[in-house]
Amino acid sequence: MMTDSGGRKTFDGGHPFSECDHCGAAFDLGVSYPVAVEDTPDGGVELYSFCDEHCKQAWAAD
């Protein structure tokens, strides 16, 4: 995340969301996948995407 001139948070596009952040499975275009959001120490957020709820829950348990 970045901050624009008005102080609003904007996505910087640094994370491609092309694979599961837990198991590495590739995503299909046009399909919705579960995500998780974590706050960062600098006030931003990190977005994580998963192939299914099982991977999201396993990632959260780590």
Tens-of-pLDDT digits for all 62 residues of the chain?
455 455 554 455 555 678 999 999 999 988 999 999 999 899 888 899 999 999 999 999 98
Count: domains in the chain: 1
Q: Mapping DSSP to helix (H, G, I), strand (E, B) and coil, where does residue 55 land? A: helix
CATH of the domain at 42: 2.30.170
| pLDDT, position 1 | 45
Which residue range is the domain that position 27 belongs to? 14-61
Instruction: Say if 20 falls within a structural domain.
Output: yes
Rounded Cα distance, 21 and 43, in Å: 22
pTM score = 0.69
pLDDT for 33 equals 93
- Rounded (to 5) percent helix, strand, coil in the chain: 15, 25, 60
The per-residue pLDDT for 62 is 86
